[in-house]
């Protein structure tokens, strides 16, 4: 099963330089299972040809409001779509949509749309985006109920480094937003989920640190899946070995103490905390000011415990906050996990086997979920995305019971 199987996306492309990125978006959505109907405006065709989109989607491309045999496309296309996406949306298109114009197939399609969500992805020069006219038109689209993706800051087509936002987000980020809008309303919708991920680092000297092999894959998968289900997500992460996900607010930390402080802050409004991070448990008692040199004898390094984040932030939990911990073990997996469930006052512990295909760095994971209520779910070897979904299903069940 692919993530977009059975989904129909109406992808409107207007005449901006970023239209080339929409070809990638159309291809990714198609490969992920979606049926993508592309509608090009007249100026979009100056940037990318219909043939490109036809080849990538395997479907005819539409660009005429009035054409023999296609007179009702502007009614049929939006009605059969599960979502309407306009990417890139130029300043001109935003103005036409805000004014309720129906002077081409894409603008008319928006007016004929039924319940399908509409995602507008503006892309233009940063000065144009900042203009009051564009901002007011965009505010109008939001007021109508359209979802508008804020443009990013970065290099613009004019080869000036954009000093403000204007640049279209990358196809992967747009795709993540589409997935979120297509997700059915879930128990996690509107909840604030705090997820920790990755290792932390404890400095020995200015160039060395103690850490572990965590890459953050499991925590990032959890944060991405929770956001896709409609939650507001804070991802507190040590140095990640994978890309941070689209959607969650990232709080980047280095040490276990910084992670503890960030988790404490986030708990103030949290409905759930999932501690998937592998914080360093020890740190050097003293950090050398200068790089440690090779001397006659290797230095002995005295260590001390860092803060245990789950224990130390217990007092910051709001009543009813669902707490999930991990127990990554090489031996006595379930007994150790059970002990952590109690010692750290968890609602759920994810007993995580360490092996070649499971644990740090792997794309798959082998876990057993142990609940405070005594429920035990032993999951087969699964992709970390699937494990994330199983954990979130359990968390959703715990919300139900509160």
Residues annotated as catalytic (active site), given as ranges: 212
Phi (first) and psi of residue 178, to 5 degrees: -60, -45
Closer residue to ligand CTP (CB): 25 or 346: 346
Contact window for ligand CTP (CB under 6 A) among 16-24, 134-142, 176-184, 272-280: 272-280
| Burial tier of 213 (Cβ tally within 10 Å: 0-12, 13-18, 19+) | exposed
Subset of residues 277 to 296 that bind ligand CTP, contact rule: CB under 6 A: 277, 279, 281
Contact window for ligand CTP (CB under 6 A) among 69-77, 140-148, 322-330, 365-373: 322-330
- Take residue 325 and report the two structure tokens written for it: 């911990």
Q: Is 201 in the site for ligand CTP (CB under 6 A)?
A: no
- Whole-number Å distance between alpha carbons of 296 and 364: 45
- Find the binder of ligand CTP among 44, 251, 309, 367 (CB under 6 A): 309
Closer residue to ligand CTP (CB): 287 or 343: 343
CB of 307 to ligand CTP, least distance (A): 6
- Find the binder of ligand CTP among 35, 238, 326, 365 (CB under 6 A): 326
- Find the binder of ligand CTP among 16, 122, 325, 359 (CB under 6 A): 325
Look up tokens 């979009």; give the residue.
44
- Whole-number Å distance between alpha carbons of 74 and 105: 6
Q: Count the Cβ atoms, other than its own, within 10 Å of residue 6.
A: 10
Q: Count the Cβ atoms, other than its own, within 10 Å of residue 311.
A: 11
Q: In 3-state terms, what secondary structure has residue 179? A: helix
Subset of residues 203 to 232 that bind ligand CTP, contact rule: CB under 6 A: none
Closer residue to ligand CTP (CB): 25 or 327: 327
- Find the binder of ligand CTP among 273, 328, 388, 392 (CB under 6 A): 328
Residues 371-393 as b/e (b if ≥16 CB within 10 A, e otherwise) read beeeeeeeeeebebbbbbbbbbe
**Are the CB atoms for 224 and 178 separated by under 8 Å?**
no
Q: Is 258 in the site for ligand CTP (CB under 6 A)?
A: no
Closest CA relative to residue 302, chosen from 223, 204, 379, 394 = 204
CB of 281 to ligand CTP, least distance (A): 5
Contact window for ligand CTP (CB under 6 A) among 19-27, 116-124, 302-310, 373-381: 302-310
Contact window for ligand CTP (CB under 6 A) among 10-18, 92-100, 118-126, 319-327: 319-327
Q: Is 358 in the site for ligand CTP (CB under 6 A)?
A: no
- Find the binder of ligand CTP among 21, 177, 340, 384 (CB under 6 A): 340
User: What is the DSSP code (8-state) at residue 117?
Assistant: -
**Are the CB atoms for 13 and 19 separated by under 8 Å?**
yes
Q: Alpha carbon of 250 to those of 20, 154, 210, 266: distances in Å?
A: 29, 19, 23, 11
Closer residue to ligand CTP (CB): 125 or 196: 196
Closer residue to ligand CTP (CB): 63 or 261: 261
Q: Is 256 in the site for ligand CTP (CB under 6 A)?
A: yes
CB of 1 to ligand CTP, least distance (A): 30
- Take residue 1 and report the two structure tokens written for it: 């099963």
- Whole-number Å distance between alpha carbons of 391 and 370: 11
**Are the CB atoms for 290 and 205 separated by under 8 Å?**
yes
CB of 316 to ligand CTP, least distance (A): 13
- Find the binder of ligand CTP among 30, 255, 306, 358 (CB under 6 A): 306
Q: Any idea what the Cα angle at residue 288 is, between residues 285 and 292, rounded to 5°?
A: 125
Q: Which residues bind ligand CTP (CB under 6 A)?
A: 256, 275, 277, 279, 281, 306, 308-310, 325-328, 340, 344
């Amino acid at each position: 099963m692919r993530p977009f199987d059975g989904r129909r996306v109406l992808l409107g492309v207007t005449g901006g330089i970023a239209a080339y990125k929409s070809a990638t978006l159309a291809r990714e959505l198609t490969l992920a299972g979606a049926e993508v109907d592309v509608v090009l405006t007249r100026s979009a065709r100056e940037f990318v040809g219909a043939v490109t989109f036809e080849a990538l989607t395997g479907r005819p491309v539409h660009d005429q409001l009035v054409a023999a045999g296609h007179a009702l496309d502007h009614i049929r296309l939006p009605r059969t779509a599960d979502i309407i996406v306009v990417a890139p949306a130029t300043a001109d298109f935003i103005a036409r949509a805000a004014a309720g114009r129906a002077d081409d197939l894409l603008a008319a399609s928006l007016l004929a749309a039924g319940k399908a969500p509409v995602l507008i992805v503006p892309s233009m020069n940063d000065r144009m985006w900042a203009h009051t006219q564009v901002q007011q038109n965009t505010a109008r689209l939001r007021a109508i109920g359209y979802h508008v993706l804020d443009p990013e800051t970065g290099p613009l087509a004019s080869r000036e480094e954009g000093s403000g936002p204007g640049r279209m987000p990358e196809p992967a980020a747009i795709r993540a937003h589409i997935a979120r809008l297509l997700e059915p309303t879930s128990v996690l919708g509107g909840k604030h989920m705090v997820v920790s991920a990755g290792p932390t680092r404890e400095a020995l000297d200015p160039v060395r640190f103690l850490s572990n092999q965590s890459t953050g894959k499991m925590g990032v998968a959890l944060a991405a899946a929770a956001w896709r289900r409609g939650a507001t997500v804070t991802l507190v992460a040590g140095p990640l070995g994978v890309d941070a996900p689209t959607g969650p607010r990232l709080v980047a930390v280095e040490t276990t103490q910084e992670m503890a402080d960030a988790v404490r802050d986030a708990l103030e409004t949290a409905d759930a905390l999932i501690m998937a991070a592998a914080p360093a448990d020890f740190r050097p008692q003293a950090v050398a000011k200068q790089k440690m040199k090779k001397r006659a004898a290797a230095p002995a390094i005295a260590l001390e415990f860092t803060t245990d984040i789950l224990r130390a932030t217990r007092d910051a939990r709001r009543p009813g906050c669902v707490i999930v911990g991990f127990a990554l073990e090489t031996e006595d997996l379930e007994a150790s996990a059970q002990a952590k469930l109690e010692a750290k006052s968890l609602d759920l512990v994810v007993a995580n086997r360490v092996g070649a295909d499971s644990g740090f760095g792997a794309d798959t994971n082998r876990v057993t979920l142990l609940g405070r209520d005594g429920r035990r779910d032993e999951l087969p070897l699964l992709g970390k995305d699937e494990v994330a979904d199983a954990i979130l299903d359990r968390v959703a069940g715990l919300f139900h019971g509160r």
